[in-house]
Structure 1
Amino acid sequence: MTTTLITGANKGLGLETARRLIEAGHTVYAGMRDTTKGDNVKALGAHVVQLDVTDELSVAAAVGSLPALDVLINNAGIIGSRSGADDFVADDLAEVMNTNVYSIVRVTNAVLPLLKASANPVIVNVASGLGFPRFTTDPDRIESKISSLGYATSKSAVIMLTLQYAKLLPEMRVNSIDPGYTATDLNGNSGSQTVAEGTDAVFAMATIDADGPTGTFSDRTGIIAY
Protein backbone atom coordinates (compact mmCIF):
# COMPACT_ATOMS: atom_id res chain seq x y z
CA MET A 1 0.00 0.00 0.00
CA THR A 2 1.35 3.44 -0.97
CA THR A 3 1.10 6.12 1.71
CA THR A 4 0.80 9.69 0.48
CA LEU A 5 0.81 13.10 2.18
CA ILE A 6 -0.79 16.04 0.34
CA THR A 7 -0.46 19.57 1.67
CA GLY A 8 -3.33 21.99 1.11
CA ALA A 9 -5.67 19.07 0.48
CA ASN A 10 -9.05 20.37 1.63
CA LYS A 11 -10.16 21.95 -1.68
CA GLY A 12 -9.34 22.52 -5.33
CA LEU A 13 -6.43 20.63 -6.82
CA GLY A 14 -5.43 19.11 -3.48
CA LEU A 15 -8.88 17.64 -2.89
CA GLU A 16 -9.13 16.23 -6.41
CA THR A 17 -5.62 14.78 -6.13
CA ALA A 18 -6.66 13.05 -2.91
CA ARG A 19 -9.76 11.62 -4.60
CA ARG A 20 -7.83 10.24 -7.55
CA LEU A 21 -5.04 8.73 -5.49
CA ILE A 22 -7.45 7.08 -3.06
CA GLU A 23 -9.26 5.64 -6.07
CA ALA A 24 -5.87 4.33 -7.27
CA GLY A 25 -5.30 2.56 -3.95
CA HIS A 26 -3.17 5.07 -2.01
CA THR A 27 -3.61 5.68 1.69
CA VAL A 28 -3.88 9.46 1.72
CA TYR A 29 -3.10 11.84 4.56
CA ALA A 30 -4.68 15.18 3.75
CA GLY A 31 -2.89 18.11 5.31
CA MET A 32 -4.80 21.34 5.98
CA ARG A 33 -4.59 24.32 8.32
CA ASP A 34 -8.20 24.09 9.50
CA THR A 35 -9.37 20.53 10.03
CA THR A 36 -12.98 21.68 10.50
CA LYS A 37 -12.97 22.20 6.73
CA GLY A 38 -11.99 18.60 6.06
CA ASP A 39 -15.40 16.98 5.65
CA ASN A 40 -15.05 16.69 1.87
CA VAL A 41 -11.75 14.91 2.06
CA LYS A 42 -12.90 12.72 4.97
CA ALA A 43 -15.82 11.60 2.84
CA LEU A 44 -13.32 10.33 0.27
CA GLY A 45 -11.64 8.13 2.87
CA ALA A 46 -8.56 10.26 3.53
CA HIS A 47 -6.97 10.78 6.93
CA VAL A 48 -7.21 14.46 7.86
CA VAL A 49 -4.06 15.96 9.39
CA GLN A 50 -3.70 19.45 10.87
CA LEU A 51 -0.85 20.98 8.89
CA ASP A 52 0.11 24.62 8.54
CA VAL A 53 3.06 24.54 6.16
CA THR A 54 4.27 27.94 7.42
CA ASP A 55 4.61 26.68 11.01
CA GLU A 56 7.57 24.47 11.98
CA LEU A 57 5.76 23.02 15.02
CA SER A 58 2.67 22.17 12.98
CA VAL A 59 4.80 20.47 10.35
CA ALA A 60 6.67 18.45 12.97
CA ALA A 61 3.45 17.35 14.66
CA ALA A 62 1.82 16.35 11.38
CA VAL A 63 4.82 14.35 10.19
CA GLY A 64 5.11 12.74 13.61
CA SER A 65 1.60 11.36 13.20
CA LEU A 66 2.41 9.52 9.98
CA PRO A 67 3.09 5.78 10.23
CA ALA A 68 5.12 5.77 7.00
CA LEU A 69 5.42 7.75 3.79
CA ASP A 70 6.05 6.92 0.14
CA VAL A 71 4.79 10.01 -1.70
CA LEU A 72 4.91 13.68 -0.70
CA ILE A 73 2.87 16.16 -2.73
CA ASN A 74 3.75 19.77 -1.93
CA ASN A 75 0.52 21.36 -3.14
CA ALA A 76 -0.23 24.15 -0.65
CA GLY A 77 0.08 27.61 -2.13
CA ILE A 78 -1.24 31.16 -2.17
CA ILE A 79 -1.52 33.86 -4.84
CA GLY A 80 -0.21 36.56 -2.52
CA SER A 81 -0.22 40.26 -3.32
CA ARG A 82 -1.55 41.34 -6.70
CA SER A 83 0.11 44.77 -6.40
CA GLY A 84 1.85 46.32 -9.36
CA ALA A 85 5.47 47.46 -9.48
CA ASP A 86 4.77 50.76 -7.72
CA ASP A 87 3.17 49.15 -4.67
CA PHE A 88 4.74 45.69 -4.43
CA VAL A 89 7.18 45.56 -1.49
CA ALA A 90 9.65 43.04 -0.11
CA ASP A 91 7.23 41.85 2.57
CA ASP A 92 4.75 40.94 -0.18
CA LEU A 93 7.32 38.67 -1.77
CA ALA A 94 8.33 37.22 1.60
CA GLU A 95 4.74 36.23 2.34
CA VAL A 96 4.20 34.30 -0.88
CA MET A 97 7.67 32.72 -0.79
CA ASN A 98 7.05 31.52 2.76
CA THR A 99 3.98 29.53 1.75
CA ASN A 100 4.92 28.52 -1.79
CA VAL A 101 8.66 27.86 -1.48
CA TYR A 102 9.97 27.79 2.09
CA SER A 103 7.16 25.41 3.03
CA ILE A 104 8.47 22.87 0.51
CA VAL A 105 11.79 22.90 2.36
CA ARG A 106 10.08 22.66 5.77
CA VAL A 107 7.90 19.73 4.86
CA THR A 108 10.45 17.91 2.71
CA ASN A 109 13.11 18.16 5.40
CA ALA A 110 10.70 16.82 8.00
CA VAL A 111 9.61 13.79 5.95
CA LEU A 112 12.98 12.76 4.53
CA PRO A 113 13.59 10.06 7.17
CA LEU A 114 10.23 8.47 6.29
CA LEU A 115 10.83 8.73 2.55
CA LYS A 116 14.28 7.21 2.89
CA ALA A 117 12.65 4.15 4.45
CA SER A 118 10.34 3.73 1.44
CA ALA A 119 11.03 1.33 -1.41
CA ASN A 120 9.76 3.90 -3.92
CA PRO A 121 10.05 7.44 -2.50
CA VAL A 122 8.45 10.18 -4.60
CA ILE A 123 8.18 13.96 -4.21
CA VAL A 124 5.91 16.06 -6.43
CA ASN A 125 6.05 19.84 -6.18
CA VAL A 126 3.17 21.81 -7.65
CA ALA A 127 4.69 24.67 -9.63
CA SER A 128 3.08 26.64 -12.48
CA GLY A 129 3.66 27.63 -16.06
CA LEU A 130 3.73 31.18 -14.72
CA GLY A 131 7.12 30.33 -13.24
CA PHE A 132 8.51 28.87 -16.46
CA PRO A 133 10.39 31.58 -18.45
CA ARG A 134 9.77 30.03 -21.86
CA PHE A 135 6.01 30.07 -21.28
CA THR A 136 5.93 33.61 -19.91
CA THR A 137 7.77 34.96 -22.97
CA ASP A 138 5.72 33.09 -25.57
CA PRO A 139 3.05 35.48 -26.95
CA ASP A 140 0.88 32.52 -27.93
CA ARG A 141 0.56 31.30 -24.33
CA ILE A 142 -1.73 32.71 -21.65
CA GLU A 143 1.19 32.87 -19.20
CA SER A 144 2.69 35.73 -21.22
CA LYS A 145 -0.45 37.82 -20.66
CA ILE A 146 -0.35 37.60 -16.86
CA SER A 147 1.86 39.73 -14.61
CA SER A 148 2.49 38.49 -11.08
CA LEU A 149 5.57 39.66 -9.23
CA GLY A 150 5.11 37.40 -6.23
CA TYR A 151 3.32 34.26 -7.39
CA ALA A 152 5.24 33.82 -10.64
CA THR A 153 8.56 34.39 -8.89
CA SER A 154 7.70 31.83 -6.23
CA LYS A 155 6.73 29.19 -8.78
CA SER A 156 9.94 29.74 -10.71
CA ALA A 157 11.78 29.05 -7.46
CA VAL A 158 9.76 25.85 -6.99
CA ILE A 159 10.97 24.55 -10.35
CA MET A 160 14.61 25.24 -9.51
CA LEU A 161 14.25 23.89 -5.97
CA THR A 162 12.89 20.67 -7.44
CA LEU A 163 15.86 20.34 -9.78
CA GLN A 164 18.29 20.74 -6.90
CA TYR A 165 16.49 18.22 -4.70
CA ALA A 166 16.52 15.74 -7.60
CA LYS A 167 20.30 16.09 -7.85
CA LEU A 168 20.83 15.72 -4.11
CA LEU A 169 18.38 12.83 -3.65
CA PRO A 170 19.17 10.48 -6.56
CA GLU A 171 17.48 7.58 -4.77
CA MET A 172 14.14 9.42 -4.98
CA ARG A 173 11.93 10.60 -7.83
CA VAL A 174 11.56 14.38 -7.44
CA ASN A 175 9.56 16.30 -10.03
CA SER A 176 7.61 19.53 -10.45
CA ILE A 177 4.40 19.96 -12.40
CA ASP A 178 2.29 22.65 -14.02
CA PRO A 179 -1.43 22.04 -13.38
CA GLY A 180 -2.35 24.47 -16.16
CA TYR A 181 -4.99 27.20 -16.02
CA THR A 182 -7.51 25.39 -13.85
CA ALA A 183 -10.73 26.70 -12.34
CA THR A 184 -10.08 26.91 -8.59
CA ASP A 185 -10.58 29.38 -5.74
CA LEU A 186 -7.01 30.54 -6.36
CA ASN A 187 -8.06 32.30 -9.58
CA GLY A 188 -11.72 32.94 -8.79
CA ASN A 189 -12.67 29.81 -10.77
CA SER A 190 -11.70 31.58 -14.00
CA GLY A 191 -9.50 28.80 -15.35
CA SER A 192 -10.35 26.98 -18.55
CA GLN A 193 -9.54 23.48 -17.20
CA THR A 194 -11.52 21.34 -14.78
CA VAL A 195 -9.88 20.24 -11.54
CA ALA A 196 -9.71 16.73 -12.97
CA GLU A 197 -7.67 18.01 -15.92
CA GLY A 198 -5.60 20.16 -13.56
CA THR A 199 -4.55 17.09 -11.57
CA ASP A 200 -3.51 14.94 -14.53
CA ALA A 201 0.16 15.90 -14.18
CA VAL A 202 0.38 15.55 -10.41
CA PHE A 203 -1.42 12.19 -10.56
CA ALA A 204 0.97 10.94 -13.24
CA MET A 205 4.06 11.92 -11.25
CA ALA A 206 2.68 10.67 -7.94
CA THR A 207 2.21 7.19 -9.37
CA ILE A 208 5.55 6.65 -11.13
CA ASP A 209 7.72 3.62 -10.43
CA ALA A 210 11.23 3.62 -9.00
CA ASP A 211 12.64 3.79 -12.54
CA GLY A 212 10.50 6.80 -13.44
CA PRO A 213 11.78 10.27 -14.35
CA THR A 214 13.31 12.69 -11.87
CA GLY A 215 14.21 16.37 -12.02
CA THR A 216 11.51 17.06 -14.62
CA PHE A 217 8.84 19.70 -15.15
CA SER A 218 5.63 18.44 -16.77
CA ASP A 219 2.04 19.27 -17.52
CA ARG A 220 -0.93 17.08 -18.44
CA THR A 221 0.54 16.46 -21.92
CA GLY A 222 3.85 15.16 -20.57
CA ILE A 223 7.37 16.25 -19.71
CA ILE A 224 8.31 19.75 -20.86
CA ALA A 225 11.78 20.40 -22.24
CA TYR A 226 13.70 23.01 -20.27
Structure 2
Amino acid sequence: MNEHTTHQVAMVTGANKGIGRAIAARLAAMGMTVVIGSRDPRRGQEAAAAVRAAGGDAHAVALDVTDLTTVQEAARWVEERWGRLDVLVNNAGITGSGKVSPEDAHDQVPSSVDLDMVRAVFETNVFGVIAVINAMLPLLRRSPAARIVNVSSHAGSLTLTSDPDGPFAALLPSAAYTPSKSALNALTVQYANELCKDGILVNAAAPGFVATDSNNHSGYLTPAQGAAVVVRLATLGTDGPTAGFFSEDGLLPW
Protein backbone atom coordinates (compact mmCIF):
# COMPACT_ATOMS: atom_id res chain seq x y z
CA MET A 1 0.00 0.00 0.00
CA ASN A 2 1.47 3.32 -1.07
CA GLU A 3 1.01 6.01 1.57
CA HIS A 4 1.87 8.97 -0.68
CA THR A 5 2.76 11.91 1.53
CA THR A 6 3.36 15.59 0.96
CA HIS A 7 6.05 15.45 3.64
CA GLN A 8 9.65 14.83 2.75
CA VAL A 9 10.81 11.29 3.42
CA ALA A 10 14.23 10.75 4.99
CA MET A 11 16.17 7.58 5.74
CA VAL A 12 18.92 7.48 8.36
CA THR A 13 21.06 4.35 8.65
CA GLY A 14 22.32 3.23 12.04
CA ALA A 15 19.66 5.41 13.63
CA ASN A 16 18.59 3.42 16.67
CA LYS A 17 21.05 5.24 18.95
CA GLY A 18 23.68 7.96 19.20
CA ILE A 19 24.15 10.51 16.45
CA GLY A 20 21.87 8.66 14.05
CA ARG A 21 18.97 8.72 16.46
CA ALA A 22 19.53 12.43 17.12
CA ILE A 23 19.54 13.10 13.37
CA ALA A 24 16.30 11.16 12.94
CA ALA A 25 14.65 12.99 15.82
CA ARG A 26 15.65 16.40 14.46
CA LEU A 27 14.47 15.67 10.91
CA ALA A 28 11.16 14.38 12.27
CA ALA A 29 10.79 17.52 14.40
CA MET A 30 11.17 19.51 11.18
CA GLY A 31 8.16 17.70 9.72
CA MET A 32 9.82 14.94 7.72
CA THR A 33 8.68 11.35 7.66
CA VAL A 34 11.76 9.52 8.95
CA VAL A 35 12.78 5.94 8.29
CA ILE A 36 15.06 4.59 10.99
CA GLY A 37 17.41 1.95 9.60
CA SER A 38 18.75 -0.42 12.25
CA ARG A 39 20.51 -3.78 12.29
CA ASP A 40 18.52 -4.69 15.39
CA PRO A 41 14.80 -4.51 14.52
CA ARG A 42 13.74 -4.25 18.17
CA ARG A 43 16.01 -1.29 18.86
CA GLY A 44 14.88 0.34 15.65
CA GLN A 45 11.24 0.01 16.65
CA GLU A 46 11.99 1.46 20.08
CA ALA A 47 13.75 4.46 18.53
CA ALA A 48 10.89 5.05 16.10
CA ALA A 49 8.37 4.84 18.94
CA ALA A 50 10.33 7.44 20.90
CA VAL A 51 10.33 9.82 17.94
CA ARG A 52 6.58 9.33 17.50
CA ALA A 53 6.04 9.93 21.21
CA ALA A 54 7.72 13.31 20.73
CA GLY A 55 5.26 14.14 17.95
CA GLY A 56 7.27 13.05 14.92
CA ASP A 57 6.45 10.62 12.11
CA ALA A 58 8.96 7.77 12.28
CA HIS A 59 9.08 4.19 11.05
CA ALA A 60 11.70 1.50 11.56
CA VAL A 61 13.12 -0.89 8.99
CA ALA A 62 15.65 -3.69 9.41
CA LEU A 63 18.80 -2.60 7.60
CA ASP A 64 22.31 -4.02 7.84
CA VAL A 65 24.46 -2.06 5.40
CA THR A 66 26.80 -5.06 5.01
CA ASP A 67 23.91 -7.33 3.95
CA LEU A 68 22.80 -6.48 0.42
CA THR A 69 19.58 -8.45 0.83
CA THR A 70 18.39 -6.27 3.74
CA VAL A 71 19.50 -3.14 1.89
CA GLN A 72 17.44 -4.05 -1.18
CA GLU A 73 14.47 -5.10 0.95
CA ALA A 74 14.58 -1.78 2.76
CA ALA A 75 14.53 0.06 -0.57
CA ARG A 76 11.50 -1.95 -1.70
CA TRP A 77 9.80 -1.26 1.63
CA VAL A 78 10.26 2.50 1.23
CA GLU A 79 9.08 2.38 -2.38
CA GLU A 80 5.90 0.51 -1.46
CA ARG A 81 4.96 3.05 1.21
CA TRP A 82 6.08 6.39 -0.14
CA GLY A 83 7.30 5.88 -3.69
CA ARG A 84 10.31 8.14 -3.25
CA LEU A 85 13.08 9.26 -0.91
CA ASP A 86 14.10 12.88 -0.37
CA VAL A 87 16.97 12.55 2.11
CA LEU A 88 19.48 9.77 2.71
CA VAL A 89 21.84 10.00 5.66
CA ASN A 90 24.54 7.33 5.67
CA ASN A 91 25.28 7.35 9.38
CA ALA A 92 25.96 3.66 10.10
CA GLY A 93 29.62 3.12 10.89
CA ILE A 94 32.02 1.20 13.10
CA THR A 95 35.41 2.01 14.61
CA GLY A 96 36.67 -1.54 14.29
CA SER A 97 38.02 -1.46 17.83
CA GLY A 98 34.86 -2.12 19.77
CA LYS A 99 33.96 0.51 22.35
CA VAL A 100 37.28 2.26 22.02
CA SER A 101 37.81 5.77 20.75
CA PRO A 102 39.86 6.02 17.51
CA GLU A 103 42.34 8.12 19.50
CA ASP A 104 43.18 5.08 21.67
CA ALA A 105 42.90 2.31 19.10
CA HIS A 106 46.26 0.59 19.54
CA ASP A 107 45.03 -2.37 17.48
CA GLN A 108 44.78 -0.13 14.39
CA VAL A 109 48.47 0.81 14.14
CA PRO A 110 49.31 0.05 10.47
CA SER A 111 52.39 -2.12 11.05
CA SER A 112 50.52 -4.56 13.28
CA VAL A 113 46.87 -4.23 12.26
CA ASP A 114 44.68 -7.27 11.69
CA LEU A 115 43.63 -7.25 8.04
CA ASP A 116 40.29 -8.81 8.91
CA MET A 117 39.52 -5.77 11.05
CA VAL A 118 40.41 -3.42 8.22
CA ARG A 119 38.13 -5.35 5.88
CA ALA A 120 35.28 -5.25 8.39
CA VAL A 121 35.60 -1.49 8.88
CA PHE A 122 35.66 -0.80 5.15
CA GLU A 123 32.75 -3.21 4.62
CA THR A 124 30.56 -1.00 6.81
CA ASN A 125 32.03 2.48 6.43
CA VAL A 126 32.69 2.42 2.68
CA PHE A 127 31.17 -0.54 0.83
CA GLY A 128 28.00 -0.33 2.89
CA VAL A 129 27.54 3.29 1.84
CA ILE A 130 27.87 2.34 -1.83
CA ALA A 131 25.31 -0.44 -1.38
CA VAL A 132 22.78 1.83 0.32
CA ILE A 133 23.17 4.77 -2.07
CA ASN A 134 22.84 2.57 -5.14
CA ALA A 135 19.78 0.79 -3.77
CA MET A 136 18.09 4.08 -2.85
CA LEU A 137 19.05 6.06 -5.97
CA PRO A 138 15.94 5.21 -7.99
CA LEU A 139 13.85 6.57 -5.10
CA LEU A 140 16.07 9.63 -4.63
CA ARG A 141 15.77 10.47 -8.32
CA ARG A 142 12.00 10.75 -7.86
CA SER A 143 12.49 13.58 -5.38
CA PRO A 144 12.51 17.15 -6.71
CA ALA A 145 15.52 18.00 -4.51
CA ALA A 146 17.21 14.95 -3.04
CA ARG A 147 20.06 15.23 -0.54
CA ILE A 148 22.66 12.65 0.49
CA VAL A 149 24.82 13.15 3.57
CA ASN A 150 27.66 10.80 4.44
CA VAL A 151 28.67 10.94 8.09
CA SER A 152 32.46 11.16 8.13
CA SER A 153 34.98 12.38 10.70
CA HIS A 154 37.63 15.05 11.12
CA ALA A 155 40.04 12.09 11.18
CA GLY A 156 39.21 11.48 7.51
CA SER A 157 40.92 14.73 6.51
CA LEU A 158 44.36 14.00 5.05
CA THR A 159 45.24 17.67 5.53
CA LEU A 160 44.43 17.69 9.23
CA THR A 161 45.91 14.30 10.09
CA SER A 162 49.17 14.92 8.19
CA ASP A 163 49.90 18.21 9.94
CA PRO A 164 52.65 17.53 12.54
CA ASP A 165 51.65 20.66 14.44
CA GLY A 166 47.90 20.21 14.04
CA PRO A 167 45.25 19.13 16.54
CA PHE A 168 45.37 15.51 15.37
CA ALA A 169 49.13 15.01 15.67
CA ALA A 170 48.64 13.05 18.88
CA LEU A 171 46.33 10.50 17.29
CA LEU A 172 47.66 6.98 16.96
CA PRO A 173 48.20 6.03 13.32
CA SER A 174 45.24 4.02 12.04
CA ALA A 175 45.00 1.59 9.14
CA ALA A 176 41.25 0.99 9.59
CA TYR A 177 38.90 3.69 10.88
CA THR A 178 40.79 6.80 9.76
CA PRO A 179 41.47 5.69 6.16
CA SER A 180 37.90 4.38 5.89
CA LYS A 181 36.65 7.90 6.50
CA SER A 182 39.18 9.31 4.00
CA ALA A 183 37.83 6.82 1.47
CA LEU A 184 34.27 7.86 2.33
CA ASN A 185 35.20 11.48 1.66
CA ALA A 186 36.63 10.55 -1.73
CA LEU A 187 33.50 8.53 -2.49
CA THR A 188 31.35 11.51 -1.56
CA VAL A 189 33.05 13.65 -4.21
CA GLN A 190 32.60 11.00 -6.89
CA TYR A 191 28.88 10.58 -6.18
CA ALA A 192 28.46 14.36 -6.06
CA ASN A 193 30.12 14.69 -9.45
CA GLU A 194 27.88 12.00 -10.96
CA LEU A 195 24.60 13.17 -9.44
CA CYS A 196 24.91 16.95 -9.75
CA LYS A 197 23.16 16.79 -13.12
CA ASP A 198 20.17 15.24 -11.34
CA GLY A 199 20.03 18.05 -8.80
CA ILE A 200 21.09 15.69 -6.00
CA LEU A 201 23.47 17.34 -3.55
CA VAL A 202 25.99 15.00 -1.89
CA ASN A 203 28.17 16.10 1.02
CA ALA A 204 30.20 14.67 3.89
CA ALA A 205 29.77 15.79 7.49
CA ALA A 206 32.09 15.63 10.49
CA PRO A 207 29.93 15.70 13.65
CA GLY A 208 32.90 16.25 15.98
CA PHE A 209 33.86 14.36 19.13
CA VAL A 210 30.41 13.21 20.21
CA ALA A 211 29.76 11.12 23.32
CA THR A 212 28.59 7.75 21.95
CA ASP A 213 28.92 4.05 22.70
CA SER A 214 31.89 3.84 20.32
CA ASN A 215 34.06 5.99 22.60
CA ASN A 216 32.56 4.98 25.95
CA HIS A 217 30.80 8.35 25.98
CA SER A 218 34.08 10.23 26.38
CA GLY A 219 33.20 12.83 23.74
CA TYR A 220 32.43 16.39 24.79
CA LEU A 221 29.54 16.99 22.35
CA THR A 222 26.02 15.65 22.74
CA PRO A 223 24.48 13.58 19.93
CA ALA A 224 22.14 16.51 19.23
CA GLN A 225 25.11 18.84 18.81
CA GLY A 226 26.83 16.36 16.50
CA ALA A 227 23.66 15.97 14.46
CA ALA A 228 23.40 19.70 13.71
CA VAL A 229 25.77 19.80 10.72
CA VAL A 230 24.23 16.65 9.25
CA VAL A 231 20.73 18.08 9.48
CA ARG A 232 21.89 21.32 7.88
CA LEU A 233 23.35 19.45 4.91
CA ALA A 234 20.25 17.26 4.66
CA THR A 235 18.05 20.33 4.28
CA LEU A 236 20.12 22.44 1.89
CA GLY A 237 18.34 24.68 -0.56
CA THR A 238 18.76 24.37 -4.31
CA ASP A 239 21.70 26.77 -4.18
CA GLY A 240 23.50 24.68 -1.56
CA PRO A 241 26.95 23.19 -1.98
CA THR A 242 27.79 19.70 -3.21
CA ALA A 243 31.01 17.66 -3.06
CA GLY A 244 31.92 19.35 0.21
CA PHE A 245 33.20 18.26 3.62
CA PHE A 246 31.75 20.22 6.51
CA SER A 247 31.76 20.51 10.28
CA GLU A 248 29.42 22.76 12.23
CA ASP A 249 32.14 25.43 11.99
CA GLY A 250 32.20 25.35 8.18
CA LEU A 251 34.13 23.82 5.30
CA LEU A 252 36.88 21.34 6.20
CA PRO A 253 39.98 20.51 4.12
CA TRP A 254 40.13 17.12 2.46
TM value normalised by structure 1: 0.95
1:9–1:41 CA contact under 8 A, matched in 2: no
Percent identity of paired positions between Structure 1 and Structure 2: 42
User: Gapped runs of 5+ residues in structure 2?
Assistant: 1-6, 53-57, 98-104
Tell me the amino acid that sits aligned with residue 89 of structure 2. Answer: I
For residue 134 of structure 1, report the CA deviation from its aligned partner.
1.7
Q: Deviations over 1:18-66 (max 9, x none)?
A: 1111111111000001111131332202100100100010001111100
Q: Deviations over 1:134-190 (max 9, x none)?
A: 221345654332222200010000100000101111121000010111111111111
1:33–1:51 CA contact under 8 A, matched in 2: yes
Q: Which residue of 1 aligns with 2:222?
A: 194
Tell me the amino acid that sits aligned with residue 185 of structure 2. Answer: I
For residue 86 of structure 1, report the CA deviation from its aligned partner.
4.3
Q: Which residue of 1 aligns with 2:195?
A: 169
SS in 1 for 2:169: helix
Tell me the amino acid that sits aligned with residue 40 of structure 1. Answer: A
Rg larger in structure = 2
Are 2:168 and 1:143 aligned?
Answer: yes
Are 2:44 and 1:18 aligned?
Answer: no
> Relative to 1, partners in 2 of residues 1:132 and 1:225: Cα closer, same or farther, differing over 3 Å?
closer
For residue 211 of structure 1, report the CA deviation from its aligned partner.
2.1
Q: Which residue of 1 aligns with 2:72?
A: 60
Tell me the amino acid that sits aligned with residue 50 of structure 2. Answer: A
Q: Which residue of 2 aligns with 1:41?
A: 48
User: Gapped runs of 5+ residues in structure 1?
Assistant: none
Are 2:134 and 1:109 aligned?
Answer: yes
Alignment coverage as a number of residue pairs: 226
Are 2:89 and 1:73 aligned?
Answer: yes
Are 2:159 and 1:153 aligned?
Answer: no
CA distance in 2, matches of 1:64, 1:25: 23
Instruction: Determine which of 209, 212, 221 is the counterpart of 2:237.
Output: 209
Tell me the amino acid that sits aligned with residue 126 of structure 1. Answer: V
- Name the Cα RMSD after superposition: 1.4
